[in-house]
Amino acid sequence: MAVSVRLRRVAIALTISVLASGLAVSAAVKLHGNTDSKIFHESTCRYYNCKNCTKDFDTREAAIRAGYRPCKVCKP
């Protein structure tokens, strides 16, 4: 009985750890900018990995300051 309680606690701790790390990753979403069209996309966009999407931005504001505009599909 004591072993199963410990295993449950370990499983819960691991689940919390995994969820917390996933939240941290999603909070730091990188943006890809298309160097030809000057449009930037978020990671969930179908155009995120286009061949000309080689410029990386950490924030939306950084992309806009660099002269890029938000994608009309993903609306980052």
Give the domain extent around 63.
31-70
Q: What is the pTM of this model?
A: 0.62
**pLDDT of residue 4 exceeding 90:** no
* Contact of 47 with 41, CB cutoff 8 Å: yes
Per the domain annotation, does 57 fall within a domain? Answer: yes
Residue 66 lies in a domain: yes
Q: Is residue 64 part of a domain?
A: yes
**pLDDT > 90 fraction of the chain, expressed in percent and rounded:** 62
73 pLDDT exceeds 80? yes
Mean pLDDT of 3-8: 65
| The pLDDT of residue 56 is above 70 | yes
Per-residue pLDDT of 6-42, as tens digits, reads 657 756 765 665 555 554 444 556 999 999 999 999 9
CA distance 25 to 2: 35
CA angle in degrees (0–180, nearest 5) for 23-67-75 = 40
Whether 38 is in a domain gets the answer yes
Contact 39, 75 (CB under 8 A): no
